[in-house]
């Protein structure tokens, strides 16, 4: 049984897998990580392996806890991957993006796949039909755009996200929501169209915390999978067990 940990900019996400089957997932803040792991181990004492992926630099506290409880694998640029990584600077590539490419390799090995992860940032990652990861793009996420409008202006307020944003805003709040939500939706559709122009057969996956709100707005055909990153991390762990 595997314990999968994804340390993000805002939260720590944890999942329990029995081989390739996701049994349960959790979300906590970093300060509650030790308590959460103890609770999970009590519920699933069969857990013996773990995979840690992080976008933050210092993971020593997480590693210490996991080494005491499991056989720990830490995802890095030196980890063996189930696909060919053609990224120009693998040492700077986010571990979350590696995991998404692994999930694409697991589920769509011989297909061209564009993975859009809508979280703190919106990342675009592309794996081709030859099972090669080529790279992609990074863009500000929904919350980051809302906060930027408030931070870099003197009068605009910080607006809470609301999926009912109109096309034509009739107030400052609605105008901000319209600009952010409709702007991001148009951005996603535009980038998908660009990829489709170069790759006739393209599978598009939308994942991340803002999947639900954006999946309703993207016009292109997509597969929404909020657990895609977890699946990729678990696949990398299973792949490395056999090496």
Q: Compute and round to an integer the Cα radius of gyration of the chain.
A: 19
Query: From the annotation, which residues make up the binding site for ATP?
Result: 6-13, 120
**Bridge partners (DSSP) listed for residue 135:** 126
DSSP state of 35: H
Nearest-angstrom CA–CA distance, 96 and 89 = 15
Query: From the annotation, which residues make up the binding site?
Result: 6-13, 87, 94-97, 117, 120, 172
Nearest-angstrom CA–CA distance, 194 and 93 = 23
Q: Tell how strand 71-74 and strand 49-54 pair up.
A: parallel
Q: How far is CA 107 from CA 31, 65, 123, 186, 207, in A?
A: 34, 31, 19, 27, 14
Name the residues annotated as catalytic: 96
> Phi and psi for 32 in degrees, rounded to 5?
-100, 10
Nearest-angstrom CA–CA distance, 62 and 84 = 28
């Amino acid at each position: 049984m595997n314990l999968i940990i994804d340390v993000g900019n805002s939260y720590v996400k944890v999942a329990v897998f029995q081989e390739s089957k996701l049994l349960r997932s959790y979300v906590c803040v970093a300060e509650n990580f030790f308590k959460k792991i103890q609770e999970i181990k009590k519920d699933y004492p069969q857990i013996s392996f773990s995979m840690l992926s992080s976008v933050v630099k210092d993971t020593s506290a997480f590693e210490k806890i996991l080494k005491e409880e499991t056989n720990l694998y830490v995802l890095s640029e030196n980890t063996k991957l189930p696909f060919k990584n053609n990224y120009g600077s693998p040492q700077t590539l986010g571990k979350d993006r590696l995991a998404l490419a692994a999930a694409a390799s697991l589920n769509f090995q011989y297909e061209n796949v564009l993975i859009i992860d809508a979280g703190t940032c919106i990342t675009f990652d592309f794996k081709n039909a030859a099972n090669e990861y080529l790279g992609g793009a990074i863009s500000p996420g929904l919350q980051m755009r809302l906060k930027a409008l408030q931070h870099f202006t003197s009068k605009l307020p910080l607006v809470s996200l609301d999926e009912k944003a109109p096309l034509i805003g009739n107030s400052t709040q609605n105008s901000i929501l319209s600009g952010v939500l409709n702007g991001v939706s148009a951005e996603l559709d535009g980038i998908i169209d660009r990829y489709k122009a170069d790759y006739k057969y393209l599978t598009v996956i939308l994942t991340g915390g803002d999947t639900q709100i954006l999946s309703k707005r993207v016009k292109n055909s997509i597969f929404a999978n909020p657990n895609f990153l977890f699946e990729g991390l678990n696949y990398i762990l299973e792949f490395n067990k056999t090496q």
